[in-house]
Amino acid sequence: MIPTAFDYARPTSVDEALRLLAQADDAKVLAGGQSLLPVLRMRLNAPDLVVDLGRIDSLRGIRDIGGGGAVAGGGGAIEIGAMTPYHEILASDEIRQELTLLHHAVAEVGDPQIRHRGTLGGSLAHADPAGDCGAVALALEAEMVIAGPSGERVVPAADFFQDLFTTAVGDDELLVAIRFPVHPGWGAGYQKFVRTAQQWPVVAVGACVHLADGKTISEARIGLTNMGPTPLRARAVEEALAGVTPTPEAVGAACAAAADGTSPPSDLNGDADYRRHLATVLARRAVLAAAGHPQ
Amino acid sequence: MTRIELTVDGAKVSDDVEPRLLLVQYLRERLGKTGTVIGCDTASCGACTVHLDGHSVKSCNVLAVQADGAEVTTVEGLATDGALHPVQEAFHEYHALQCGFCTPGMIMQAADLLAENPAPTEEQIRQGLEGNLCRCTGYHNIVRAVQHAAGTPGTTAAPAADGGAA
Amino acid sequence: MTTTEEAPTAEAAHDGEIGRDRRRKEDHRLLTGRTRWTDNIAPPGTLHLAMVRSPYAHARITGIDTRDAQASPNVVAVLTGADLADTQGVLANAWPITTDQVAPEHKPVAVDRVAFAGEIVAVVVARSAAAAVDAAELVDVDYEELPAALDLKDAAAATPENGGALAHPDLGTNNSARWIFDSAEAGTGGDVEDAIAAARSGGILIEREYRQQRLIPAFMEPRSVVVDPTGEQITLWSATQIPHITRFLLAATTGVPESKIRVIAPDVGGGFGGKLQTTPEEWAAFAVARRLGKPVKYTETRSESLLAAHHGRDQWQKLTLAATTDGTVTGLKVELLADLGAYVALVGGGVPVLGAFMFNAIYKFPAYRFDCRTVLTNKTWTDAYRGAGRPEATFAVERLMDELAAELGRDPLEVRRQNWITHDEFPFTTVAGLTYDSGDYESATAQAVEAFGYEDLRAEQARRREERDPVQLGIGISTFTEMCGLAPSRVLGSLNYGAGGWEHAEIRMLPTGKVEVTTGASAHGQGHETAFSQIVADRLGVPYEDVEVLHGDTQVAPRGLDTYGSRSLTVGGEALALAADKVVAKAKPWAAHLLEAAPEDIEFAHGKFTVAGTGEGKTVQEIALAAFAAHDYPEGIEPSIDAEATFDPVNFSFPHGTHLCAVEVDTETGAVSLRKYVCVDDVGTVINPLIVAGQVHGGLVQGIAQALWEEAVYDDAGTLLTGTLADYLVPSAADLISFDAAHRSTPATTNSLGAKGVGEAGTIASTPAVVNAVVDALRPYGVHDVRMPCTPARVWHAIQEGSAA
């Protein structure tokens, strides 16, 4: 219930935060704290220093960066500061319209209190395989802006998640923003499967789908949550969906491959076989919802 | 030790605290605000819910140092001039509490829910309370009470101590 | 008949106190945070305790090095079991169910061996809780791991000869006790083996094995204890259901005179049986406070609570039901294994025995046998959890009645009707030897069926089956009864229980007209202050507002047996009613004297004594003032109209009800969602309908949670995997629906209130209703059982296996 003692720093700029991290041997970055505090209280981690990003105003906010961002594809993009809390993302009309999948996923994170404090950047950097937003960042082909001692670098979501609780962010670096290419006209479906409402997902599937002529799927992007140590793309399903008319049968057939290449855990919420099956059902439902044909 | 200054239930307070001190421990142990309680260690039960700058948070999942400069409202600051807040009144009228341990957090979350959505459906009430556990009532009467409070004038008004939205 | 759905009635609309929707007196302090939980209490100079707990399920303690912890800042002492050996006492088992029961000694702080993960091995005392927790990490304990008895069936079969792991090697067995009831031997019915043999040759035999999973009571307020040894008495505050029993056992096991101990249960945040315990933490705190002469406090974390506070249920049930081909039940055989965990808890050994009388439920079984073995394992000890024994029995028989109906191809309601006791057969002596005094199963069921829309839902179910809808509808039935009001002391004595079952009450008529009431039933959320005020106001005819109910402090309410087993109203409430009657009787000669009339001409009604035929009178409150002054009163009586009463019931009470549940099962994912839940409970006379409905709602959810979500799970090393509320799934509002909970009343005949008890009814009834609904949904898929909790994964696998068969 009581964390071990630690030193505390509250920088007001990214540079100051980076200097603190560079000097520390064993520092933990505190974003919204909604995952970190339970870890500290259960004494599963006992850092010497906690660096609280809560007073760095530049890390907070939702910005339309147009086509000028580094986002691949050349379309518009929205940049979300790493310290932007979920409830602000949820309240953004821009995100609801242009990044509908992210809106749906954020609405399902934790509970209202958690969404008031928890941040998108904190959650992505924590990289819990059951986190709601990792798979969505993958599906939306987001880019992660990472600041370090030698400046900023941009890492595609596909290269960001490296292992269980492990990302491309180094010990002396910070995730400062997430850039999402906007998906105007794309449909979105998010299927989170839980045993009780406030639980982390047993499995979740995020799908965004673009329809050619409003009829046939021209492109689909599917992200899987808790189907392995990192969030995953269901590439086989995406390929199988291209050119498909989104009937329940056709989508169902394409989604039979949803668990290909995954390595889901077995735990109290379900064994790996069950999770593999669940992924196919949730993928079908997410894609159909995204295509405007919810079951 | 880190110096913090904040406003709690309308009163300015200032203390030197260990960085590891949780906001809920600060409220209970340093300020004597024992109305707010601790029910778990994983931010699961919501019993410790308070309002931080006008939004509900689990005060066991916030460090006291993070609340420096903030306005905090606890269940003890919700009633104004001796009159119960409409959510408190509705909990009494609809028998929405038994042992009462989850009640402070449940009430603070219900007040936040109604501030964000003054006319929620039953489904929205249930979703809005998903982060608060009660072991006594089966939630039936809690949902009724919140429905009732939603129709009561003054429910979404800010409590005096809180400055911001309830 | 009253229904309690939707808006409660306005208080003013009701002129009597009994049956009135009084809003609770308790609420204001709880709503505004002016509460007194044990953790709020800190006498000056309080020291804080942290417990060092065993990470191993079973190990020998080969050494404890406390030097680093002792040297840690602000640490006052570090005490091991050896340090406390002479003073810590032992934790008692108050219900040895057989004279040859095998039970290990249970020291609060382990001395040389630990028998479950979470057992306390040392206590750190420091000036702050943080300092104590920091230092606890520095206590270096050397363990030598021993083989752990974990699986219940394996443990029951283990012997020194076959090399199976023994929870306590020195005992030579894991089998603690065997307890048998046989109707042929008891003379209450026939021989069940004859019934089974007959069913085997030309009847119907239903043989099933059901698992009652291990549950955790998970009261919202973690346990907390404060001990102040300064002053003449040692005061112990505890978040407990049982201050009186705790005081008695502290004295009995530590040698401190009972008169030197005061136990206070202040505001207590739920119990559900989980705080019906004398705990290692209380005993350790008591010993440390005495040793140091300073107040000490210990409040557990939720993780510690889930790990070390007692668990509940955990049985294997092997069941054989015999019936004729026309659906008439002819016999029931029950063979149980019950997991005690590492120690025989306060009443833990007796929990399955409480179920022994309930397997036959509301049905007319002509033959019955119950054979139970209690088994020690290296897991957290088990004891009462809401319902205690009766949910297990009700689950088994209600599942079996559905299985019998499925076997016969008949509606499960019909099969129940064919076999239950009809309303004109009361009082009815059952095959288990109990006499049910009252009830009306037909009317409760008819009302529930009507409210549920049973036929419409059956039609929808047929349609979905026909259409092969991936979402199937299931309907579950539970027509239950239970025995409440623990308990007739003579019955408890015959079962070798260590105490009686009476309850005590006192009424003090204050000179200002206020009425101070004490009860030995110590509430922790049930609303005693309100309901008991209503009883006293009704009997004395005084304003409800003038009654103050005091409880939960052995100095304020010295005699009592506390709150559990749905006993508060039927036993404690009745004691209060009897005390009120005594006050009236004592006041009568005063009234006669003051009104200058003969006692036989005095009438009492609505709080006023009047002379028959005149308007002249004195209220009982006026007489209280006269008795205080005592200036003018008859010879031969004492100057007081205060009274106390102790009530010992002659029989249990038997609430019953019909619960109907509809669930939707997503056959693609295995997800179960509640669609509709209707119940009609007969709890006898209702004092406060609002409180009764609240008890039912809360009970329903705990029972539903057993069916769908909750299970305490250990890994192969004996480590609890469900050690936080993120893993042990207590449902939230978002997982549940609103209920249609109504009640009827056939008054109990064993107390003057007519009350039967309501605290456990919902929990007992709802679990089989939900599981029956899940199985009912899946019968077309060849599914006949899903083990609890019916998780989506289990449901999905059951469908795969059923369909493949």
pLDDT tens digits, one per residue of A128-183: 999 999 999 999 999 999 999 999 999 999 999 999 999 999 999 999 999 999 98
- Mean pLDDT for chain C? 96
d(CA C774, CA C778): 7
Measured between CB atoms, which of B88, B94, B100 is closest to C267?
Answer: B100
Q: Look at residues C322, C283, C60 and name the one whose alpha carbon lies nearest to residue C168.
A: C60
Can you tell me the mean pLDDT for C372-376? Answer: 98
Pairing of strands C59-65, C113-114: antiparallel
pLDDT of residue A184: 84
pLDDT of residue A73: 52
Contact call for residues C174 and C376 (beta carbons, < 8 A): yes
Query: Is the predicted pLDDT of residue B163 greater than 70, yes or no?
Result: no
pLDDT of residue C158: 98
Query: Is the predicted pLDDT of residue C3 greater than 80, yes or no?
Result: no
C724 contacts on B by Cβ (under 8 Å): 40-42, 44
Task: With CB atoms and an 8 Å threshold, state whether C729 touches A1.
Answer: no
Q: Is A77 helix (H, G, I), strand (E, B) or coil?
A: strand
Question: What is the amino acid identity at position C738?
Answer: S
pLDDT tens across C232-249, in order? Answer: 999 999 999 999 999 999
Query: Is the predicted pLDDT of residue C39 greater than 90, yes or no?
Result: yes
Can you tell me the mean pLDDT for C200-215? Answer: 98
Task: With CB atoms and an 8 Å threshold, state whether B22 touches A42.
Answer: no
C215 contacts on B by Cβ (under 8 Å): none
Query: What is the rounded radius of gyration, in angstroms, for the C-alpha atoms of chain A?
Result: 19
Q: Is C158 helix (H, G, I), strand (E, B) or coil?
A: coil
A200 contacts chain B (CB < 8 A): no
Contact call for residues C664 and C520 (beta carbons, < 8 A): no
Task: Report residue C72 as tokens.
Answer: 């840690």
C272 contacts on B by Cβ (under 8 Å): 135
DSSP C644-713: EEEE--SS-B--EEEEEEEEEEETTT--EEEEEEEEEEE-BS-S-HHHHHHHHHHHHHHHHHHHHT----
Query: Is the predicted pLDDT of residue B82 greater than 90, yes or no?
Result: no
Domain A187-290 carries which CATH code? 3.30.390.50
Q: Look at residues C176, C19, C248, C36 and name the one whose alpha carbon lies nearest to residue C745.
A: C19
pLDDT of residue B156: 52
B3 contacts chain C (CB < 8 A): no
Using the 8-state DSSP alphabet, how is residue C483 labeled? -
C494 contact partners, CB below 8 Å, separation of at least 6: none
Residue B4's DSSP bridge partners are B15
Please name the residue of chain C whose CA is at the shortest distance from the CA of residue B31: C40
Task: With CB atoms and an 8 Å threshold, state whether C793 touches A43.
Answer: no
Residue B11 Cα, gap to closest chain C Cα (Å): 17
Neighbours of C398 (CB within 10 A): 27
Residue B123 Cα, gap to closest chain C Cα (Å): 8
Those of residues 254-313 in C touching chain A at CB distance below 8 A are 301, 303
Task: With CB atoms and an 8 Å threshold, state whether A198 touches C732.
Answer: yes
pLDDT-derived band of residue C1, with 50, 70 and 90 as boundaries? very low
Neighbours of C385 (CB within 10 A): 28
Can you tell me the mean pLDDT for C22-51? Answer: 97
pLDDT of residue B160: 37
d(CA C419, CA C431): 13
Query: Is the predicted pLDDT of residue C275 greater than 80, yes or no?
Result: yes
Query: Is the predicted pLDDT of residue A286 greater than 70, yes or no?
Result: yes
A1 contacts on B by Cβ (under 8 Å): 38, 41
d(CA C309, CA C313): 14
pLDDT-derived band of residue A67, with 50, 70 and 90 as boundaries? low
pLDDT-derived band of residue A211, with 50, 70 and 90 as boundaries? very high
DSSP C556-620: TS-S---S-TT-IIIIIIHHHHHHHHHHHHHHHHHHHHHTTS-GGGEEEETTEEEETTSS-EEEH
Can you tell me the mean pLDDT for A209-219? Answer: 92
Strands of C19-150, DSSP E: 47-53, 59-65, 75-80, 113-114, 120-126, 140-145
pLDDT of residue C487: 82
Query: Is the predicted pLDDT of residue B158 greater than 50, yes or no?
Result: no
Task: With CB atoms and an 8 Å threshold, state whether C137 touches A268.
Answer: no
Q: Look at residues C744, C720, C778 and name the one whose alpha carbon lies nearest to residue C448.
A: C744
Using the 8-state DSSP alphabet, how is residue C546 labeled? G
pLDDT tens across C729-783, in order? Answer: 999 999 999 999 999 999 999 999 999 999 999 999 999 999 999 999 999 999 9
Query: Is the predicted pLDDT of residue B166 greater than 50, yes or no?
Result: no
Measured between CB atoms, which of B41, B127, B132 is closest to C303?
Answer: B41
Q: Is A141 helix (H, G, I), strand (E, B) or coil?
A: coil
A91 contacts chain B (CB < 8 A): no
**Percent share of chain A, pLDDT over 70:** 97
Measured between CB atoms, which of A37, A42, A111 is closest to B130?
Answer: A111
Measured between CB atoms, which of A196, A270, A281 is closest to C731?
Answer: A196
Question: What is the amino acid identity at position C221?
Answer: E
Residue A289 Cα, gap to closest chain C Cα (Å): 17
pLDDT of residue A214: 81
State yes or no: cis peptide before B86, omega within 30 of 0.
no
pLDDT tens across C440-456, in order? Answer: 999 999 999 999 999 99
Residue B66 Cα, gap to closest chain A Cα (Å): 8
Can you tell me the mean pLDDT for C411-437? Answer: 97
Residue A104 Cα, gap to closest chain B Cα (Å): 14
Task: With CB atoms and an 8 Å threshold, state whether A278 touches C303.
Answer: no
Structural domains present in chain B: 2-76 (3.10.20.30), 86-157 (1.10.150.120)
Query: Is the predicted pLDDT of residue C565 greater than 60, yes or no?
Result: yes
Those of residues 237-296 in C touching chain B at CB distance below 8 A are 267-270, 272
Please name the residue of chain A whose CA is at the shortest distance from the CA of residue C672: A195
Task: With CB atoms and an 8 Å threshold, state whether C791 touches A197.
Answer: no
pLDDT tens across C110-152, in order? Answer: 999 999 999 999 999 999 999 999 999 999 999 999 999 999 9
Query: Largest Cα–Cα distance of chain C, in whole Å?
Result: 90
Domain A60-181, architecture per CATH: 2-Layer Sandwich (3.30)
d(CA C148, CA A18): 50
Task: Report residue C679 as tokens.
Answer: 């119940």
- Helix H or strand E encompassing C263: strand C261-264
Neighbours of C414 (CB within 10 A): 12
Chain-centroid distance, C-alpha C345: 14
Question: What is the amino acid identity at position C508?
Answer: R
Can you tell me the mean pLDDT for C212-241? Answer: 97
Task: With CB atoms and an 8 Å threshold, state whether B57 touches A113.
Answer: yes
- Helix H or strand E encompassing A225: strand A216-225
Query: Is the predicted pLDDT of residue A204 greater than 90, yes or no?
Result: yes
Query: Is the predicted pLDDT of residue C11 greater than 70, yes or no?
Result: no
| pTM score over 0.95 | yes
Residue B69 Cα, gap to closest chain C Cα (Å): 24
Query: Is the predicted pLDDT of residue C516 greater than 80, yes or no?
Result: yes
Residue B78 Cα, gap to closest chain A Cα (Å): 18
Q: How far apart, in Å, are the Cα atoms of C475 and each of C103, C657, C782?
A: 43, 17, 16
Task: With CB atoms and an 8 Å threshold, state whether A268 touches C721.
Answer: yes
pLDDT tens across C662-710, in order? Answer: 999 999 999 999 999 999 999 999 999 999 999 999 999 999 999 999 9
pLDDT of residue B159: 39
For the question of an ipTM over 0.95, the answer is: yes
Those of residues 88-147 in B touching chain A at CB distance below 8 A are 109, 112-113, 127-128, 130-132
Task: With CB atoms and an 8 Å threshold, state whether A37 touches B61.
Answer: yes
Structural domains present in chain C: 502-647 (3.30.365.10)
- Torsion sign over Cα C394, C399, C404, C410: positive
Cα distance between the two ends of chain B: 31
| Crossing angle for the helix pair B140-150 and C689-708, to the nearest 10 degrees | 120
Q: Look at residues C216, C220, A116 and name the one whose alpha carbon lies nearest to residue B40.
A: C220
Measured between CB atoms, which of A1, A38, A195 is closest to C792?
Answer: A195
Q: How far apart, in Å, are the Cα atoms of C143 and each of A63, B47, C84, C167?
A: 58, 37, 19, 16
B38 contacts on C by Cβ (under 8 Å): 39, 222
Cα distance between the two ends of chain C: 48
Contact call for residues C188 and C430 (beta carbons, < 8 A): yes
Q: How far apart, in Å, are the Cα atoms of C683 and each of B31, C208, C354?
A: 45, 31, 19
Residue C687 Cα, gap to closest chain B Cα (Å): 15
Beta strands across the sheet bearing C59-65 = C113-114, C59-65, C140-145
Question: To 10 degrees, the CA torsion angle through C441, C446, C451, C454?
Answer: 110
pLDDT of residue A185: 85
Q: How far apart, in Å, are the Cα atoms of A34 and each of A58, A115, A123?
A: 21, 9, 9
pLDDT of residue B153: 63
d(CA B152, CA B145): 11
Q: How far apart, in Å, are the Cα atoms of C661 and each of A196, C474, C674, C737?
A: 19, 8, 8, 11
pLDDT of residue C4: 38
Can you tell me the mean pLDDT for B51-70? Answer: 98
**Percent share of chain C, pLDDT over 70:** 98
